Structure 1
């Protein structure tokens, strides 16, 4: 559960930082809270159309730092790597997939932390989540091709048509059917500062994992097949330690 939550939240940053342009380098932190899990902090770095996220989680009693790197030069692949195994996994971003439908309902103005936000409920492809956007912070421009460009552009156009712009300060993802919370992400830190270009390169010494993650294929997997895939990733980690 923790592994799949981590993968989902890292890739979700592709959507968060894909609207209006901001030429400055950005550093942000989101606190992620799942059901029956210890809160995690996910760090995001954005520079020149590249995005890096770092999330620290506890695996088998040990902290594991998992990093996701999305490069403007190769926008159809997300590189997911961690310090425990010195390996990286490629997650494909399907260039032919797109969001089929999106429903956005404006629920009103609310305060999230120190930010004045607009609360919206969003439904797409059978999934439901609540999001809070603040105009007090600009969004980060991340021109990625394929699935996320097609999908997020449709979402952003719908948001703009309702007067919703700016940074996402909070998101609450719901379980299928929208009856309870699956996990929550909330912005806890935001800075504009110069970032080192080395943050956006794969570190030397890391080897490619035998596992390739394809979100489109995972949609059609059974629960057992998904579990088998995650166990294969965990087994690779155990073999190295």
Structure 2
């Protein structure tokens, strides 16, 4: 389910608007084992700078995560810990690559209308995981941030974007939905506007200290127990408990 969350957030990042600034909010509903948990994700952007705040609510884990992506720090994700007043820079170029990630297929299901937007319903299969997605071109300018996202972090891969465009399905993500034996996740657009965004939101506060970085390649070679310990440390460092 964590992989599903990461993939969904990555696809949500592959959106944009012609305006230089704005706010996008999504609601994510995760279900499994007879439970349903609602999380939220808010992306604010201005002049190529992106701030993403995610409030996760899952069994055994409830915390807020804040990430910055800045043009002057390409291929870098800055994770802020507002509680401890620390930050960590993660070089996304060092993120281990999934050998199956390049195997992406896009199948067009048809045209549908969601939230009064004309959408293309497609099924995207990545790493053998199918996911329904609805995209729209009614909200223009998605190309600009898609290009920025691709150059700034591992938000999918080139083939995924290529297949979306080949199918005529590139656009602003309105909804994604995925189900499996464990449960599923639905992510839906709940807000979009182009009101001014404060420049202070895209800066690392002066009183924040740099925290310990974690090398994704080292995590890949760890035992399950070691990975669990690292994940717990990451949550403490990068997420604020609610």
TM-score bracket, normalised by the shorter chain, equals 0.7 to 0.9
The answer on whether the counterparts of 2:76 and 2:91 sit within 8 Å (CA) in structure 1 is: yes
Between the aligned partners of 1:29 and 1:21, the Cα distance in structure 2 is 14
Native 8 Å contact 1:17 1:140 kept in 2: no
Shift of 1:93: 1.0
Check whether the contact 1:15–1:148 (CA below 8 A) recurs between aligned residues: no
Partner residue in 2 for 1:141? 144
TM-score by length of 1: 0.77
For 1:82 and 1:224, the matched residues in 2 are separated by 24
Task: Specify the alignment match of 2:131 in structure 1.
Answer: 129
Normalising by structure 2, we get a TM-score of 0.77
**Structure 1 Cα separation of the partners of residues 152 and 94 of structure 2:** 4
Q: Do 1:69 and 1:78's aligned partners in 2 also have CA atoms closer than 8 Å?
A: yes
TM-aligned CA deviation for residue 206 of structure 1: 1.9
- CA shift digits 1:45-98 (9 cap, x unpaired): 122222111123469999743211111111211112232222223333127958
How many equivalent residue pairs? 229
Aligned to 1:42: 41
The range that moved more, 129-138 or 217-226, is 217-226
Gaps of 5+ in 2: none
Deviations 1:109-151 (A, max 9, x none): 22333322111111122333221101211226232427637x5
| Structure 1 residues without counterparts, runs of 5 or longer | none
- Alpha carbons 1:26, 1:140 under 8 Å: kept: no
SS at match of 1:8: helix
Question: What is the distance in 1 between the residues matched to 2:127 and 2:67?
Answer: 24
Q: Which residue pairs with 1:8 in the alignment? A: 6
Q: Distance in 1 between matches of 2:58 and 2:134?
A: 31
Of 229-238 and 48-57, deviating more is: 229-238
RMSD: 3.5
SS of match in other structure, 2:161 = helix
